[in-house]
């Protein structure tokens, strides 16, 4: 009989986690909560566990639904987005950014099998075999629920889960749902109350040069479009003058180039931001910058400064700094971002802070910024039209 353990009522949740790890190591199947639904998992390193998972999938397959046979049956669960770098190589531009932005979260990413690297190839052959879908793709996921991550942190390898997209008689929102559907096959089910969403996550298929929604889920098409957008950030010191000017000028120039209103840039795949390395939160733009850009119908009155945080650094695709000093300061903390941080000037010439100067100093600064932005847009659209 399947044992259902309510982790919130346990004296020590760590005891439950250790019990799950022991069951998985012994080749048993376990039911776990995620933010989307409850799922059935086996240890990716346990051939007996994987064999049981395969048998369970076969016993619950809907032979009357041909469409279901086209869907992936299994996915590999990782504990963190960073771990994907161990299992995947040669990711496309979209693959890299969606790993950063979607995980942890209710999104499964399907990669071509040729992108699976050394760590994946060291998994047992039965595990690799069931993970490769009929089209050769492999599905990966990093759940946002903390319990799978806690369990994975104690295991020597990842987990294999039955994919949520398979048709079910009822949504697996509760521990009792998964017990009714799979109970006799599971040794243990961890009950953490109702899952947050109560429906499957979104499945994204990553191509060499594009992406598409393979199976709709809790993350909408529009949200996925934003997650796949090119996020560009301009950085200076206080985010009250140079970088805000660069942000609004870039929006204007890019929307003109794309022949669309500025508010539709996100629908064309672009998100434009600015921040400061030493910025306060919520400071207004410099009055001289506001007055200067208002002459061109550009409004900086609602600008509020923001610091360049670790979260922003993780999410952006490209950062353009006003000086070499700004770039060096960012790379001193995050040398891994060298390919994503550049000076606004292609030749590395500093754009001096105009604060304290007269109107002509501000005007010169604005014109210099605009000249560099035009070149950046030209290069950006050229690169974007090319394969990853």
Q: What are the domain boundaries of the chain? A: 3-225, 229-384
List phi, psi (to 5°) of 249.
-65, -40
Average pLDDT over residues 231-248: 97
Nearest residue to 370 via CA among 252, 261, 260, 275: 252
Confidence band for 384, pLDDT divided at 50, 70 and 90: low
* Displacement of CA 388 from its chain's centroid (Å): 18
Instruction: Give the integer Cα–Cα distance in Å for 96 and 168.
Output: 32
| Active-site residue, selected from the candidate residues 177, 191, 192, 353 | 353
Predicted pLDDT of residue 167: 56
Hunting for tokens 């869907």 — which residue is that?
Answer: 71
* Each residue's pLDDT tens digit, 28-64: 999 999 999 999 999 999 999 999 999 999 887 765 5
Hunting for tokens 């003058």 — which residue is that?
Answer: 241
Beta bridge partners of 205: 110, 212
* Each residue's pLDDT tens digit, 271-320: 999 999 999 999 999 999 999 999 999 999 999 999 999 999 988 999 99
Confidence band for 66, pLDDT divided at 50, 70 and 90: low
Average pLDDT over residues 348-367: 94
Predicted pLDDT of residue 65: 55
Predicted pLDDT of residue 68: 52
Average pLDDT over residues 177-192: 94
- Answer CATH for 3-225 from 1.10.3470.10, 3.10.310.10, 3.40.50.9100, 3.90.870.10: 3.90.870.10
| Active-site residue, selected from the candidate residues 21, 102, 236, 365 | 236
Nearest residue to 157 via CA among 39, 54, 41: 41
The helix/strand/coil state of 116 is: strand
210 is catalytic: no
324 is catalytic: no
CB 13, CB 191: distance < 8 Å: no
| Active-site residue, selected from the candidate residues 110, 242, 251, 327 | 242
The helix/strand/coil state of 141 is: strand
pTM across the whole model: 0.83
What's the CATH code, domain 229-384? 3.40.50.2300
365 is catalytic: no
Of the listed ranges 41-50, 154-163, 165-174, 225-234, the least confidently predicted one is 165-174
């Amino acid at each position: 009989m399947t044992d259902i353990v309510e982790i919130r009522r346990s004296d020590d949740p760590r005891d439950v986690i250790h019990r799950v790890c022991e069951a998985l190591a012994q080749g048993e199947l376990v039911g776990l909560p995620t933010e989307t639904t409850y799922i059935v998992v086996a240890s990716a390193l346990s051939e007996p566990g994987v064999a049981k998972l395969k048998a369970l999938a076969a016993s619950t397959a809907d032979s009357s639904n041909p469409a279901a046979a086209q869907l992936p049956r299994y996915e590999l669960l990782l504990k963190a987005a960073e771990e994907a770098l161990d299992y995947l190589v040669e990711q496309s531009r979209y693959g890299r950014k969606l790993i950063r932005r979607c995980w942890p979260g209710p999104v499964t990413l399907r990669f071509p099998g040729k992108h699976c690297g050394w760590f994946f190839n060291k998994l047992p052959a039965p595990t690799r075999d069931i993970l490769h879908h009929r089209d050769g793709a492999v599905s990966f996921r990093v759940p946002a629920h903390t319990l799978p991550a806690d369990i994975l942190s104690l295991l020597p390898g990842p987990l294999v889960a039955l994919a949520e997209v398979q048709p079910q008689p009822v949504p697996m929102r509760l521990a009792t749902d998964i017990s009714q559907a799979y109970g006799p096959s599971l040794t243990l089910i961890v009950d953490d109350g109702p899952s947050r969403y109560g429906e499957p996550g979104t499945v994204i298929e990553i191509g060499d040069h594009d992406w598409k929604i393979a199976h709709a889920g809790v993350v909408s098409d529009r949200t996925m479009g934003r997650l796949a957008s090119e996020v560009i950030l301009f950085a200076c010191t206080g985010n009250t003058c140079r970088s805000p000017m660069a942000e609004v000028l870039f929006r204007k120039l890019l929307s003109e180039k794309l022949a669309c209103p500025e508010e539709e840039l996100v629908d064309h795949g672009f998100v434009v931001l600015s921040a400061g390395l030493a910025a306060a939160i919520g400071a207004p733009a410099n009055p001289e910058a506001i007055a200067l850009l208002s002459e061109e119908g550009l409004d900086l009155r609602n600008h509020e400064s923001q610091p360049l945080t670790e979260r922003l650094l993780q999410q952006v695709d490209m950062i353009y700094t006003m000086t070499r000093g700004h770039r060096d300061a960012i790379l001193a903390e995050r040398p891994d971002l060298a390919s994503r941080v550049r000076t606004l000037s292609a030749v590395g010439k500093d754009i001096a802070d105009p604060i304290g100067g007269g109107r002509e100093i501000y005007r010169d600064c604005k014109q210099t910024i605009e000249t560099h932005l035009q070149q950046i847009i030209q290069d950006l659209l050229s690169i974007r039209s090319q394969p990853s």
